Amino acid sequence: MKIFRILLMSVTSFSGGVSQADQLPHPALVIGAVGGAEKRNPQKPNVIFVFSDDHRFDSLGMTGDPVTQTPHLNQLAREGVFFKNTYITSPICGPSRANIFTGQWERKNRIGFSSISKNMVSEEAFDNSFLMKLKRAGYSTAFIGKHHTKIVDRKNSPLKNNIDFCYYGEGHLGFHPAKKKKVFSNLKNKTQIEGLFEATEAYLKPGNDFDYFYENADPSLKNCLYKRDPDQPFCAWINFNLPHQASLGGMGSQPEDPDFYKNLYADQRSEMPLPNEYPVKANLPDDVLNISEMPGYYRLNKQKLLDTKLKTARAVYGIDQFIKNLRKLLVDLGEDQNTIIIFASDNGLLYGEHGICGKTMLYEESVQVPLMIYSPFLAEKHHGTQLAALAVGQDIPATILDMCGVKVPDSYQGASLLPLMEGRSVKWRHDVFLENLFTSQGYPRQEAVRSERYKYIRYFSRKNDRNKYLPDGIVGEKAIYEELFDLQNDQKEQVNLAHNPKYAEVLTAHRKRCQELVTELAQ
């Protein structure tokens, strides 16, 4: 096994994203390498972006999970580049996806969780999305799986009218999607991961093997499903609703479910990692967070949490099998040497750390996600590189466009990761702004700065902003609680240094930086 190389880029600070003028120029098409010698790629590369749901950074074999086996994701990282400090800046389903569609922070796009913000992706923002930019550049495009962000109107009309293969269900899909969403009733595979692979095959494979899929498609999407033109490059965005807890119910309950959903890791259930001395008492004051106000499905006793972790491990294994089957499919299609594969998650998840279960909180378990990018055009010397540079979800659409030789829109606040992947010296961020504007279910509104060493979090009054959407805050408001963690010496964020006089200067600097980013990213 090739040992990962760890690379920390030499960078200069900037606020949110890197302007295109800051990046070193490179050929319009992706640069490849054979035997260490770079060459131009004569074709436009294909792209497959696989996006999992509530998938913690440490739930892969390569990131330290002691039980879950992910050999194919591990291999994808060994043959590509792994970004080990990647953050979702709005760690909850809808906003995180809106940030990918727009390439912006929520502070800018104003698209929060739909029940709170009521906002939708605008026509202009959708027109600038990586899917639409690639479509205009001659790509066949596909959007498959979970959809949790309204596009322009409640019918998602631009998505249906413009994406060549538009096959999705809104909100939670369930483990057996056809039971909740009739749009998936044309699948032969009834389990979510295997069903979405079947849909991917139907889109990518030529011939008549999947005529049944198109003929039996639900009327709401029947006119939105077209096979790819083999003469066109393609870009497919595949969205799972797993390992999200909302889709774990029913796992392994049907005779036709793959066996690993029923019995994999059963003898290792007791080995599933839990926080020390679980359940842990919440470490936030009651006026910041009251656990009793939060949904019961996230308040798990030890046995229920072990069951959830077991099912989660099985779902992650299923996603790993998807990657295996996807790569084999690309080989069979003769597209493996021309297809970029990106894997990431929409947010992490707290499993009792800090006394909290769930998401939206700005602790590492909730905001840090795995991100790996495999490109057959990347020089071999970069294979297996782990990059320590701070990356965010908004960088993914910029990277996709850059790797395909398409100009990144000026509206994007994320930046292309390609220069880092190629080992070039480039201006890069020294910190990341994180936010939670979801004020339902007992969660507090929060803002944070995660720098290379420290994390600063500030909380606002739940009493004042319950169920309100407040991207501009409240005039004259002050944070009611602050936290400061030294991530170098306290990776689990257990020791709050905000009231330690030795760290007064660090606290002041991060407090100031947080306010700067609030202002800059909103513009």
Per-residue pLDDT of the chain (523 residues; tens, 9 = 90+): 333 333 333 333 343 444 333 333 333 333 344 334 344 445 799 999 999 999 999 999 999 999 999 999 999 999 999 999 999 999 999 999 999 999 999 999 999 988 889 899 999 999 999 999 999 999 999 999 999 999 999 999 999 999 999 999 999 999 999 999 999 999 999 999 999 999 999 999 999 999 999 999 999 999 999 999 999 999 999 999 999 999 999 999 999 999 999 999 999 999 999 988 888 888 899 899 988 888 776 678 899 999 999 999 999 999 999 999 999 999 999 999 999 999 999 999 999 999 998 899 999 999 999 999 999 999 999 999 999 999 999 999 999 999 999 999 999 999 999 999 999 999 999 999 999 999 988 899 999 999 999 999 999 998 888 889 999 998 888 999 999 999 999 999 999 999 999 999 999 999 999 999 999 999 9
Burial class of 259 by CB neighbour count within 10 A (0 to 12, 13 to 18, 19+): exposed
Per DSSP, the three-state class of 439 is coil
Let me know: does 460 contact 46? Beta carbons within 8 Å: no
Domains recognised in the chain with CATH numbers: 45-376 (3.40.720.10), 433-522 (3.30.1120.10)
Please name the residues in contact with 24: beta carbons below 8 A apart, sequence gap of 6 or more. 419, 424, 425, 426
Question: Rounded to whole angstroms, how far apart are CA atoms 416 and 400?
Answer: 8
Q: Backbone phi, then psi, for 154, in 5-degree steps?
A: -70, -15
Structure tokens at 347: 């947010």
Question: Distance between CA atoms of 215 and 413, rounded to whole angstroms?
Answer: 41
> Cβ neighbours of residue 46 under 8 Å, at least 6 residues apart?
233, 234, 235, 335, 338, 339, 340
Helical H segments across 370-487, by residue range: 395-403, 418-421, 462-465
Residues 447 and 437: their CA atoms lie apart, in Å, by: 9
Indicate the DSSP class of residue 225: B
**CA 232 to the chain's CA centroid:** 27
Spatial CA neighbour of 391 closest among 373, 411, 409: 373
Query: What is the C-alpha to C-alpha distance for residues 53 and 347, in angstroms, rounded to an integer?
Result: 7
Q: In whole angstroms, how far apart are CA 73 and each of 41, 68, 169, 200, 303?
A: 25, 11, 25, 18, 29
Joined together, the tokens standing for residue 357 give 């279960």
Cα separation, 376 vs 32, whole angstroms: 7
